[in-house]
Amino acid sequence: MGKPHAFQQELFSSIRKKLPVHLSLADELADLLNVSADSVYRRIRGETPLSSYELTIICQRYHLSADELLKLKNNSVLFDAPGLNNDYPDFAGYMKAMLEQFHYFGRFKKRDIFYLCKDVPFWYFFLFPEIAAFKVFFWSRTINNLSSFANQQFSIECHHFEECFDLGQKILQMHNEMHSVELWNLESIHSTINQLSYYRDAGIFKTQSDFSAVTDSFLKMIDHLQLQAEQGLKYMPGSEVKQGRIDFYVNELILGNNTILLELDDEKIAMITYNILSYLICNNEKFVTKTFHAYNNLLTRSALISRTGEKERSKFFNQFRTKVTALKIG
């Protein structure tokens, strides 16, 4: 790739793959570079070389690696880390950033999401308000260590988190419109069970009724997830409107990390979690291909329990209920 125009062709080809099919590459670049459409076309054809400044902002906007475009042979991979330079003042700020990600996904016609669930996927906690309120309190107090929660006990009456629940419902709605393939394990609910157990034993629940309300809400969430798996479709509680398809798999032997893979039209993306709530985004072709291969390899060793496998489906969710019920009794 010694010729400048060949490099630019490779660059713009990579960008086209990232754009939803209904968006114009020329319009997007004209707006980004603040130049005329004619100037953009000269750059696309390789007649006008990109400046270093233009290359920088293009790579930043579309999360491209110059090393990859230049075909440099190394093991470096470029990741985007949303929120890395921001300390969210409250949990709602984190959720607004997640909602923006789903708005981006919504720009594509084909939207498939693949989830390796070490834990329950974040958005499912917002199916019901009590478990949602507890998780927001836990994430704010224990994970993000917000000083305003340091000496507080959790109370349904005092901790509604209406804004977070509203954001969570919006994220759920957008997630429900996508086709999901989820790979679960019997350990997937353990982190939440451990959180509930710890808060109960440490006296952080204000009353026993607060603890009971949260655990009952947790059981309602499990019931809803089983109904979705039974029908193979996602929907909001109490709604008759069915949305995207869900393929629900169970693997009782292998517990991976929380990994999200996406197919958005012709683009593939990998999202890897770190620091519990943070995530890294990568569209490096080799990395994403390898990650998809590992995920699909796990699927071949897993049992599909959505729309079929009634016995295995009942067994799986009943084991979840037994664990939560034991928590209530204990």
Q: Are 279 and 273 in contact (CB under 8 A)?
A: yes
List per-residue pLDDT tens for the chain, 330 residues long. Answer: 445 567 787 788 778 777 777 778 888 888 888 888 888 888 888 888 888 888 888 887 877 766 666 554 566 777 777 777 766 668 898 899 899 999 999 989 999 999 999 999 999 999 999 999 999 999 999 998 888 898 899 999 999 899 999 999 999 999 999 999 999 999 999 999 999 999 999 999 999 999 999 999 999 999 999 999 999 999 999 998 999 999 999 998 877 788 999 999 988 999 998 888 888 998 888 899 999 999 999 999 999 999 999 999 999 999 999 999 999 886
Q: Are residues 324 and 203 in the same domain?
A: yes
Of 254, 257, 255, 230, nearest in space to 242 by CA = 230
Report the CATH number at residue 10: 1.10.260.40
Place of tokens 């110059």: 66
Q: Are residues 208 and 133 in the same domain?
A: yes
CA 133 to chain centre: 19
- Order of strands across the sheet with 278-282? 278-282, 267-274, 259-264, 111-116, 179-184, 246-250, 303-304
Token pair in block for residue 96: 């607004």
- Amino acid occupying residue 206: K
Place of tokens 């949303």: 82
What's the predicted TM-score (pTM) here? 0.79
Please report whether residue 82 resides in a domain.
no
- 311: how many CB neighbours lie within 10 A of its CB? 8
Token pair in block for residue 42: 């000269």
The predicted pLDDT at position 27 comes to 87
Question: β-strand 259-264 against 303-304: which pairing, if any?
Answer: unpaired
Of 34, 6, 80, 81, nearest in space to 14 by CA = 6
Please report whether residue 78 resides in a domain.
no
Q: Are 62 and 134 in contact (CB under 8 A)?
A: no
Strand partners, 110: none
Helix (H) or strand (E) holding 28: helix 25-33
Of 70, 178, 180, nearest in space to 117 by CA = 180
Please report whether residue 74 resides in a domain.
no
Token pair in block for residue 62: 């579309």
Q: Are residues 47 and 132 in the same domain?
A: no
| 3-class state of residue 183 by DSSP | strand
263 vs 258: CA distance, rounded Å: 17
Please report whether residue 75 resides in a domain.
no
Token pair in block for residue 296: 């699909």
Cα→Cα distances 208→194, 196, 200, 215, Å: 17, 12, 9, 11
- 176: how many CB neighbours lie within 10 A of its CB? 20
Please report whether residue 21 resides in a domain.
yes
Please report whether residue 277 resides in a domain.
yes
- Which residues form the domain of 55? 4-69
